[in-house]
Homo-oligomer: A and B are copies of this chain.
Amino acid sequence: MELRINPASRTPIYRQLTEQLREAVARGKLRTGERLPSVRELAGELVVNPNTIARVYTELEREGVLNTRAGLGVFVAQPQAELTRRVRRQRLQKVLDRFMTEAVHLGFSAEEVVSLVEQGVKEFSWPSTDQ
């Protein structure tokens, strides 16, 4: 698992990291139960303040992506969907609209977009349907 930050970016470091971690979990690069580097370790590695890493871990814990065991470390949590179908649908729609908008402005065709999605879908780890 390699994380990269761009200190020059407009998006704050802690957000860059939460996004990368969220994506890594969604891609199955980080698996349920897996342990993440400790706050101090990661802070040292990325040369940022430990508080910044702590914030990343805290936010992802509140989202239900990670969980913390005091004295042991931070781990990838069990996936869970606590939100109403309606809310989940709304949230996804937003990101979908942004994706479509970008695609149009970049000059892609409808066919290309569908095909890209069909390809992309394979690289993520979807919930098992029998759950």
Contact = CB atoms under 8 A, between A and B. Distances in A.
A50 to B, nearest CB: 15
A1 interface: no
B92 A108 contact: yes
Contacts of A125: 104
B87 A82 contact: yes
Query: How big is the A interface, by class?
Result: 35 or more
Interface string A67-106: 1111010010111011110011001100111111111111
A1 to B, nearest CB: 15
B88 A95 contact: no
B126 A121 contact: no
Contact of A96 (B70, B99, B107): B99
Contacts of A41: none
A110 interface: yes
22 contacts: A8-B69, A9-B67, A10-B68, A19-B101, A22-B101, A26-B103, A62-B62, A65-B105, A81-B106, A92-B102, A92-B108, A92-B116, A95-B95, A95-B103, A96-B120, A100-B121, A100-B123, A110-B121, A111-B129, A114-B114, A114-B121, A117-B117
